[in-house]
C-alpha cells in the first residue's frame, strides 16, 4: 500500500506542477492574445511528444526550436529539414561481378570477392547508423526508415551494398515526396527485383513472389485481391530483370506482353500498367495512409484514415499526408503510448545525450541483438511494430543492453559535463514520468555524484522504452 | 495488470526458495504438449508420400519429386522423405500419427495471415485476438508459467490469461534475466503496463527455473547441434525439472523453399527428425515419455506441381505429425488427391482445428473444449 501511496504522491506532485504550468500558460496566453502565433506555442510536454515520435527523442536543440512554434508550424519545421548525408563508403561503387565473371575466378578469388562484399555490407550499415545519429533532419530519417520497412529488401539476400545503396537513394529521394514515383521506383529497383525473386520471373514460368507482395504488403493490403490478380501482376512483371550492369531492364523475350485482366476489369500488359492499376485502386491510398498513421499513432482511427486517404490519392503527396497525421488531435493525445523500435532506442539515446561516443560497431551489435539490423528486416513484412517489438525474450535483451548503454553513456557524461543532472531535466527526456517513486527518492539534485546513477536509472527504466 | 493471485503469494512469501511440489507418480503430472512450428510452409507432398498416387505425383513434380532411393517406406501405401527414416521406429511402435489433408476453407497464402489463422485457430475470414492455447493452459497446472516458447512466434499463447515466457535459450536467459526483479506497481499507461507485465513474467520464469536448476539435471542422451536440437535439449531439461509447465513451443525454418528446394528441404527434415528423436530418447530414458506429445504445424503446404526454379510455391493442405508415448499411431484424415486440384492446389480434407481440439480434449482431458462447432473428433490419444 505504501508503494501505491508513493505513486499517488508523485502523481499529485506532477498534478501540481502541471496545474502550475497550466496557470502559467493561461497567463501567457491571455497576455499574448495580441500575438496569436505564440499563444498556440507547444508546451514542453507537447514538444517532447512530437520529437519522440517524429524524431528520435527530445534533443535539447530541437526542443528549443519546436517549443517556439504552434503545432502545425512545428510539424512543418520538422518536415522541411533537409537530410545532409555524408558520402557512402566508396566500396558501394565497386563493380559487381555477374555469374559469368564469377565463374572465371579461382576458388580463392571467389572467396575473396565474397569477403569483400561482406566487408562492404558492414561498412555500409555502420555508415547508415552514423548518419542517423549525426543527421539533423529527424523526420526525413524517420520516414526513410519507414519506407525501408515498407518496401522491404534485405542485404542478406541481395548481398551487394551497391544495390541496396541504390534503393536507399531512391527512398531518400521520395521519402517525403510522391508515393506514385516511389512505388514505380521500387517496382523497378534492382535490389527489390533480386530480393523478391523477380529475376527468376519469366513468361514460361511466372514467379509470383514480387507480384504477390506488391499486392499484399506494398499497396492494397491482405484481403483485397484474388489469386487471379496475383497471377496477372506476376505476368505483367515477367522479364523485368537486371542487365549485366545490374540495372533493371525488361528482357523482351522473357516478358509476357499479352493483355491480362486485374481487379476484374482493368487490362494491363507491363509493369508500368500494373503500377498505374495499383495507384488507381482505392485500397492503395487507404493502406498506405493507415500504415503511416500506425507509424506515428498507437490506435488507428479508420474514419480519419479514410479521410486522409481520399486526399492522399489525389496527388500522392507523402509530406502532406504526414503533416495531416502529425497535426491530428489523435496524434497529440497519444503521448507515451507507443514502444520505441531498437533504432529509436539506441540512436535516440545517443542523440539525446549529446557528445556520447560509442563505436558504431558496438551499437550495431546491440541493434542486432534487439532484432533490428539496418537494411536487414527479418522478412518481407518488415520489422515488428510498436508492441510487437517485445516479448519476454526481447524484454530481457533490452534490459540487459540498456544497462550496458546506460553505463557507456554515464561514463561518457562525466567527461562531457553532465548537462542533465537535475530531476527536471531528466524528466523532460522520457515520454512519461517515472512511476516508481520509491526509487526516484534516490534522485538527488544536490549531489553531483548521483547524476550518473540518475541517468542510469532513467535509461534502464521501462519508461525509457516508451515514446 | 491482472495476474493470478498465487503468483504474488509465491513471490511474497519466499516460496521461491522451496522445491516445487514434485508429483509422486508420472501419472499425476500435467501432460505436456510440445508444438513444433515448421516455419515458412513445409512442402508436405515431399515429406509424406501417398504411393497410390505416385504416377500423378511424378508428373506434377518431374524434377522435385522424390525417387525411390530418396524415400523410406512406412507401410503399403505411404512413404516418408528419407531424412525422416528415424520415424519408422516410433511408427512401428504405434507412437506416431500422420494427420493428412489438414487445412481450412478459403486457404490464405500469405505467410503472415495464414500462420495467424493457425495460431488463433480462426476461420479464414475471422480475426481473433487470442491464440488457441491462450485460455486453456492455466486450468491445467498451478505453475506460475504455463508455456515456454523457444525462438520465434508465441502467438498461440497470447491474448488470454496464459502466462508464457519466450526465450532464445536457457543459458542466455539466466545470464540476461539475472538482474530483473519483480515488476511492482502497474500503470495507467497501457504501453507501460504491457512492459511491466512482460517484466513480471520474466521474473516469474526466472524464479521457476531457479527452482528447477537446483535439482541438477544431467541429460542422458546427446542432442543434435542444430538450432532446433538445442531448443529441444532445453525443453528436455525443463521437462525433467518437473515444473508442471503444460506447453512448450519450438520452431524450425525456413521451409519457404521457392527455389533450390531439394537440398534445403533434406537438411531441414533431417534436423527435425534428429531433434524429435533425441527428445524421445531422452524422455523415454527418464520415464517422462508417456506424458509427452509433440505436434508439428505450419502455415500451409505447397503447390501440387513444382515451380520453374527447382522449388515449390505457397499451397494449401498438408500432413502433420503427432508423436508421443500415448499417441494412437496410424493414419488420420485423407491424403489430398492430386487429380482433384482446385486452381493449382490440392483440396484439404480435415480442418486443422479438429486436430487441435482433439488434442486438448483427449490429451488434457478437457471434453468440453471447443474451437468451432461441428469439428470432426479424432480418436488419437490413449488414456493414461
- CA-to-CA distance for B119 and B153, rounded, in angstroms? 9
The pLDDT of residue B24:
37
Contacts of residue B201 in chain A, CB cutoff 8 Å? 392
Q: What is the pLDDT of residues B90-112, one digit of tens each?
A: 999 999 999 999 999 999 998 99
Contacts of residue A403 in chain B, CB cutoff 8 Å? 179
The pLDDT of residue A356:
78
**Most confidently predicted of A395-409, B21-35, B349-363:** B349-363
Q: What is the pLDDT of residues A60-100, one digit of tens each?
A: 889 999 999 999 999 999 999 999 878 999 999 999 998 88
The pLDDT of residue A174:
98
For residue A21, pLDDT beyond 60: no
For residue A15, pLDDT beyond 70: no
Residues of A with CB under 8 A from a CB of B: 3-4, 7, 197, 200, 202, 204-205, 207-209, 212, 216, 222-223, 227, 298, 336-339, 379, 381, 387, 390-397, 399-400, 403, 432, 435-436, 462-463, 465-466
Q: Give the residue with greater pLDDT, A124 vs B184.
A: A124
Q: Is B308 on the interface with A (CB under 8 A)?
A: yes
Q: What is the pLDDT of residues B190-220, one digit of tens each?
A: 999 999 999 999 999 999 998 888 777 899 9
Percent of chain B residues topping a pLDDT of 90: 81
Domain boundaries, chain A: 196-280, 283-332, 342-465
What average pLDDT does this structure show over A333-342? 97
Q: Pick the residue of B64, B108, B158, B198 with the most A CBs within 10 A to test the interface with A by mutation.
A: B198
Contacts of B66 (CB under 8 A, 6+ apart): B46, B49, B79, B81, B82
What average pLDDT does this structure show over A226-238? 96
Considering only alpha carbons, which residue of chain A is nearest residue B195?
A462
3-class SS at B162? coil
What average pLDDT does this structure show over B339-358? 96
Residue A78 phi, psi dihedral angles, 5° rounding:
-65, -40
pLDDT category of residue A3 using cuts at 50, 70 and 90: very low
Q: Which of B167, B187, B192 sits opposite A393 (nearest CB)?
A: B167
- CA-to-CA distance for A223 and B125, rounded, in angstroms? 9
A211-215, A310-314, B209-213, B294-298: least confidently modelled range:
B209-213
DSSP symbol at A125: H
Q: In B, residues 200-239, which contact A (CB 8 Å cutoff)?
A: 201-202, 205
Q: Is B191 on the interface with A (CB under 8 A)?
A: yes
> Closest approach of chain B CAs to the CA of A391, in angstroms?
6
Percent of chain B residues topping a pLDDT of 70: 93
- Mean pLDDT, chain A, as a whole number? 88
For residue A29, pLDDT beyond 60: no
The pLDDT of residue B26:
41
Is A205 in Cβ contact with B110 (below 8 Å)? Answer: no
Contacts of residue A209 in chain B, CB cutoff 8 Å? 258
- CA-to-CA distance for B37 and B321, rounded, in angstroms? 11
What average pLDDT does this structure show over B157-161? 92
pLDDT category of residue B4 using cuts at 50, 70 and 90: very low
**Most confidently predicted of A7-21, A330-344, B25-39:** A330-344
A32-36, A82-86, B168-172: least confidently modelled range:
A32-36
Percent of chain A residues topping a pLDDT of 90: 73
The pLDDT of residue A428:
79
The pLDDT of residue B2:
36
pLDDT category of residue A414 using cuts at 50, 70 and 90: low
Q: What is the pLDDT of residues A78-89, one digit of tens each?
A: 999 999 878 999
What average pLDDT does this structure show over B231-257? 96
What average pLDDT does this structure show over A243-253? 95
Contacts of A188 (CB under 8 A, 6+ apart): A240, A248, A271
Contacts of residue B343 in chain A, CB cutoff 8 Å? 227
Query: B28-171+225-363: what fold?
Result: Alkaline Phosphatase, subunit A (3.40.720)
What average pLDDT does this structure show over A431-448? 57
DSSP symbol at A466: B
Contacts of residue A10 in chain B, CB cutoff 8 Å? none
What average pLDDT does this structure show over B15-43? 69
How open is the CA angle B323-B326-B327, to the nearest 5 degrees? 45
Q: What is the pLDDT of residues A272-309, one digit of tens each?
A: 999 999 999 999 999 999 999 999 999 999 999 999 99
- Going by their DSSP bridges, the two strands B247-253 and B292-297 should be labelled as unpaired
DSSP string computed for A276-341: HHHHHSHHHHHHHHHHHHHHH-SS--HHHHHHHHHHHHHH-BHHHHHHHHHTSHHHHT-TT-SB--
What average pLDDT does this structure show over B337-358? 96
Q: Which of B175, B177, B308 sits opposite A207 (nearest CB)?
A: B308
**What ipTM goes with this model?**
0.85
Amino acid at each position: 500500500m505504501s508503494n501505491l501511496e508513493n505513486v499517488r504522491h508523485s502523481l499529485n506532485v506532477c498534478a501540481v506542477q502541471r496545474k502550475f504550468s497550466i496557470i502559467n500558460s493561461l497567463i501567457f496566453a491571455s497576455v499574448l492574445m495580441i500575438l496569436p502565433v505564440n499563444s498556440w506555442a507547444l508546451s514542453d510536454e507537447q514538444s517532447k511528444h512530437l520529437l519522440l515520435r517524429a524524431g528520435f527523442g527530445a534533443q535539447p536543440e530541437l526542443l528549443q526550436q519546436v517549443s517556439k512554434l504552434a503545432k502545425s508550424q512545428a510539424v512543418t519545421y520538422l518536415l522541411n529539414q533537409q537530410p545532409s548525408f555524408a558520402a557512402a563508403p566508396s566500396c558501394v561503387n565497386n563493380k559487381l561481378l555477374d555469374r559469368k565473371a564469377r565463374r572465371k575466378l579461382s576458388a580463392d578469388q571467389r572467396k575473396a570477392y565474397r569477403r569483400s562484399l561482406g566487408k562492404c555490407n558492414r561498412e555500409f550499415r555502420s555508415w547508415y547508423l552514423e548518419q542517423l545519429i549525426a543527421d539533423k533532419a529527424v523526420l526525413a530519417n524517420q520516414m526513410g526508415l519507414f519506407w525501408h520497412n515498407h518496401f522491404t529488401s534485405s542485404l542478406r539476400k541481395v548481398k551487394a551494398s551497391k544495390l541496396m545503396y541504390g534503393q536507399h537513394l531512391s527512398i531518400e529521394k521520395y521519402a517525403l515526396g510522391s508515393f506514385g514515383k516511389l512505388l514505380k521506383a521500387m517496382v523497378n529497383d534492382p535490389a527489390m527485383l533480386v530480393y523478391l525473386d523477380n529475376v527468376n520471373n519469366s513468361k514460361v514460368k511466372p514467379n509470383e513472389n514480387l507480384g504477390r507482395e506488391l499486392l499484399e504488403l506494398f499497396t492494397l493490403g491482405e484481403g483485397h485481391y484474388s489469386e487471379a490478380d496475383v497471377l496477372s501482376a506476376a505476368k505483367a512483371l515477367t522479364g523485368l530483370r537486371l542487365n549485366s550492369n545490374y540495372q533493371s531492364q525488361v528482357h523482351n523475350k522473357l516478358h509476357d506482353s499479352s493483355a491480362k485482366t486485374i481487379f476484374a476489369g482493368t487490362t494491363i500488359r507491363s509493369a508500368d500498367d500494373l503500377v498505374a492499376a495499383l495507384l488507381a485502386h482505392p485500397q492503395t491510398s487507404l493502406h498506405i495512409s493507415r500504415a503511416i498513421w500506425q507509424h506515428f499513432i498507437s490506435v488507428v482511427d479508420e474514419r480519419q484514415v479514410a479521410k486522409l486517404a481520399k486526399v492522399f490519392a489525389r496527388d500522392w503527396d507523402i509530406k502532406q499526408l504526414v503533416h495531416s497525421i502529425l497535426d491530428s488531435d489523435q496524434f497529440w493525445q497519444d503521448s507515451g503510448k507507443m514502444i520505441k523500435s531498437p533504432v529509436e532506442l539506441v540512436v535516440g539515446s545517443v542523440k539525446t545525450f549529446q557528445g556520447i561516443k560509442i563505436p558504431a560497431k558496438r551499437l550495431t551489435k546491440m541493434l542486432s541483438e534487439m532484432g533490428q539490423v539496418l537494411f536487414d528486416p527479418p522478412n518481407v513484412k518488415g520489422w515488428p511494430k510498436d508492441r510487437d517489438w517485445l516479448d519476454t525474450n526481447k524484454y530481457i535483451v533490452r534490459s540487459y543492453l540498456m544497462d550496458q548503454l546506460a553505463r557507456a553513456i554515464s561514463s561518457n557524461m562525466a567527461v562531457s559535463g553532465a548537462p542533465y543532472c537535475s530531476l527536471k531535466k531528466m524528466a523532460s527526456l522520457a515520454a512519461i514520468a517515472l512511476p516508481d517513486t520509491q526509487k526516484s527518492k534516490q534522485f538527488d539534485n544536490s549531489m553531483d555524484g548521483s547524476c550518473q546513477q540518475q541517468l542510469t536509472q532513467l535509461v534502464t527504466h521501462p519508461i525509457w522504452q516508451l515514446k | 495488470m491482472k495476474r493470478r493471485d498465487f503468483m504474488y503469494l509465491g513471490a511474497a512469501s519466499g516460496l521461491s526458495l522451496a522445491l516445487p511440489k514434485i508429483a509422486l507418480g508420472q501419472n499425476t503430472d500435467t501432460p505436456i504438449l510440445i508444438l513444433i512450428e515448421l516455419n515458412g510452409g513445409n512442402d508436405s507432398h515431399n515429406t509424406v508420400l501417398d504411393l497410390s498416387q505416385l504416377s500423378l505425383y511424378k508428373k506434377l513434380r518431374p524434377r522435385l519429386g522424390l525417387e525411390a532411393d530418396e524415400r523410406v517406406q512406412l507401410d503399403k501405401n505411404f512413404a516418408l522423405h528419407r531424412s525422416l527414416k528415424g520415424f519408422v521406429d516410433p511408427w512401428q511402435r504405434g507412437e506416431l500419427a500422420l494427420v493428412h489433408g489438414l487445412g481450412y476453407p478459403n486457404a490464405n497464402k500469405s505467410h503472415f495471415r495464414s500462420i495467424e489463422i493457425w495460431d488463433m485457430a480462426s476461420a479464414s475470414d475471422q480475426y481473433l485476438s487470442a491464440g488457441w492455447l491462450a485460455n486453456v493452459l492455466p486450468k491445467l497446472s498451478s505453475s506460475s508459467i504455463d508455456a515456454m516458447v523457444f525462438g520465434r512466434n508465441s502467438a498461440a499463447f497470447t491474448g488470454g490469461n496464459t502466462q508464457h515466457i519466450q526465450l532464445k535459450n536457457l543459458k542466455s536467459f539466466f545470464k540476461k534475466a539475472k538482474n530483473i526483479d519483480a515488476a511492482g506497481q502497474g500503470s495507467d499507461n497501457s504501453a507501460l503496463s504491457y512492459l511491466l507485465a512482460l517484466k513480471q513474467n520474466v521474473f516469474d520464469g526466472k524464479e521457476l527455473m531457479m527452482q528447477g536448476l537446483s535439482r541438477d539435471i544431467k541429460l542422458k542422451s546427446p542432442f543434435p547441434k542444430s538450432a532446433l536440437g538445442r531448443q529441444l535439449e532445453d525443453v528436455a531439461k525443463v521437462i525433467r525439472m518437473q515444473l508442471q509447465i503444460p506447453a512448450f513451443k519450438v520452431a524450425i525454418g525456413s521451409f519457404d523453399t521457392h527455389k533450390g528446394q531439394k537440398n534445403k528441404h533434406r537438411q531441414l527434415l533431417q534436423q527435425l527428425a534428429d531433434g524429435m528423436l533425441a527428445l524421445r530418447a531422452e524422455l523415454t530414458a527418464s520415464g517422462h515419455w508417456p506424458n509427452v506429445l509433440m505436434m508439428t504445424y505450419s502455415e500451409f503446404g505447397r503447390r501440387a506441381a513444382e515451380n520453374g526454379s527447382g522449388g515449390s510455391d505457397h499451397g494449401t493442405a498438408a500432413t502433420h505429425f503427432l508423436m508421443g508415448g500415448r499417441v494412437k499411431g496410424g493414419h488420420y484424415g485423407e491424403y489430398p488427391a492430386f487429380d482433384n486440384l482446385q486452381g493449382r492446389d490440392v483440396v484439404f480434407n480435415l480442418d486443422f482445428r479438429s486436430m487441435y481440439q482433439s488434442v486438448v480434449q483427449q490429451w488434457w482431458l478437457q471434453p468440453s473444449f471447443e474451437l468451432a462447432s461441428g469439428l470432426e473428433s479424432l480418436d488419437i490419444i490413449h488414456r493414461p
